[in-house]
């Protein structure tokens, strides 16, 4: 089978080669079954398909209807797309008769087309409706949530999900404004935050952390990540690998702690009469941690915060 070319896309896929190479798609492994948990605009999926053998299989997931539309243009019998969160991968694969896979890739970043499309409401740089939903077919928009959320809960979300030290002032300002008029556009929200935050890191817009916090909450990103990591581990066959790319400290901390919990075991008291062969063994092996190179960050500034962590499933006992 001829290799599938990886096209130049509007979205620059971060750590493209590094994340796919880490899956070790060579030899017999090229005939395996793989998961791309976040299809996005298909950069990772297309590269994986270019390395798969004719009898290999790739199943991708995404919540974004626009990503699904892009995925449906891939005319490859080895490929299928699921319109849902990667958190549902165990159930979705069971419906397809799959109980184990040979590798999983999760790219947790929001795609450039999502950010650059003002109508999606993810960015404060261009005015648009305050939506922020990854899946525009379900759930409530950011505007609807901001209209009714209690002020104390709003403060907690901005503080915890945005790591914003001015969460109290921002929540108070939002509550005051919504009592006068609906907050329905990204420009409105950005202006409210800018007026409430008097100091900010050099080169960073005052609204950055608040927009991140609201987006994470609306899309249940951290809940999905927690469930998705557990689901991914449950599906990995022995010697199968997981590549995870995160873009902010909350995600990376969760990934790091999850992988570390599988790579370490509590050792019993050395004074107990336990044979070495019966000692508990780690369940995963940490392979690597990679950040984008200087040239990649220069070509794509949105890559600067990315971290790729790779781990391999072992056959050990807990």
Residue ranges at the known binding site: 42-44, 62, 86, 107, 114
Beta strand ranges found along the chain (DSSP E): 33-36, 57-62, 79-83, 101-107, 236-246, 284-290, 307-313
Q: 3-state class of 105 per DSSP?
A: strand
Distance CA 236, CA 219 (A): 26
Task: Compute the residue count for the chain.
Answer: 318
Q: Where does residue 132 fall: left (phi above 0), alpha (psi -120 to 50 degrees), or beta otherwise?
A: left
- Look up residue 120 and give its two tokens: 């999606």
- Backbone φ and ψ for 168, nearest 5 degrees, come out as -60, -50
Instruction: Give residue 179's Cα distance to chain centre.
Output: 35
Distance CA 134, CA 153 (A): 22
Contact (CB, 8 A) for 34 and 48:
yes
Instruction: Give residue 171's Cα distance to chain centre.
Output: 26
Of the candidates 54, 107, 104, 96, the one whose C-alpha atom is nearest the C-alpha of residue 76 is 54
Contact (CB, 8 A) for 109 and 134:
no
Identify the bridge partners of residue 284 per DSSP, sorted by sequence position.
313
Distance CA 248, CA 161 (A): 10
Of the candidates 130, 69, 128, 107, the one whose C-alpha atom is nearest the C-alpha of residue 221 is 107
Query: For the sheet containing 79-83, what is the strand order?
Result: 79-83, 57-62, 33-36, 101-107, 236-246, 307-313, 284-290
Identify the bridge partners of residue 245 per DSSP, sorted by sequence position.
107, 308
Binding residues for S-adenosyl-L-methionine, by number, are 42-44, 62, 86, 107, 114
């Amino acid at each position: 089978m001829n290799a599938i070319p990886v096209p130049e896309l509007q979205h620059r896929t971060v750590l493209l080669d590094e994340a796919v190479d880490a899956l070790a798609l060579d030899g017999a492994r090229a005939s395996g079954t793989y998961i791309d948990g976040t299809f996005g605009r298909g950069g990772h999926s297309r590269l994986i398909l270019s390395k798969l053998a004719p009898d290999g299989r790739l199943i991708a997931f995404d919540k974004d209807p626009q990503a699904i539309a892009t995925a449906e243009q891939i005319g490859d019998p080895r490929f299928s797309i699921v319109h849902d969160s990667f958190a549902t991968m165990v159930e979705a694969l069971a419906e397809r008769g799959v109980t184990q896979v040979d590798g999983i890739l999760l790219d947790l970043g929001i795609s450039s087309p999502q950010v650059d499309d003002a109508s999606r409401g993810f960015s404060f740089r261009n005015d648009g409706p305050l939506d922020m939903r990854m899946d525009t077919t379900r759930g409530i928009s950011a505007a609807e949530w901001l209209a009714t959320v209690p002020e104390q809960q709003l403060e907690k979300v901005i503080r915890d999900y945005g790591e914003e030290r001015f969460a109290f002032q921002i929540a108070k300002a939002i509550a005051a404004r919504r009592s006068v008029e609906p907050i329905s556009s990204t420009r409105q929200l950005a202006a409210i935050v800018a007026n409430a935050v008097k100091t900010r890191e050099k080169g960073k817009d005052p609204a950055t952390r608040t927009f991140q916090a609201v987006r994470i909450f609306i899309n249940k990103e951290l809940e999905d990540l927690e469930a998705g990591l557990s689901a991914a581990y449950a599906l990995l066959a022995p010697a199968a690998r997981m590549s995870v790319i995160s873009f902010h400290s909350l995600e990376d901390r969760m990934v790091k702690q999850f992988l570390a919990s599988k790579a370490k075991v509590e050792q019993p008291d050395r004074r107990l009469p336990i044979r070495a062969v019966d000692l508990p063994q780690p369940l995963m092996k940490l392979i690597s941690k990679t950040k984008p190179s200087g040239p990649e960050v220069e070509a794509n500034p949105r890559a600067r915060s990315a971290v790729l962590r790779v781990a391999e499933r072992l056959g050990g006992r807990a």
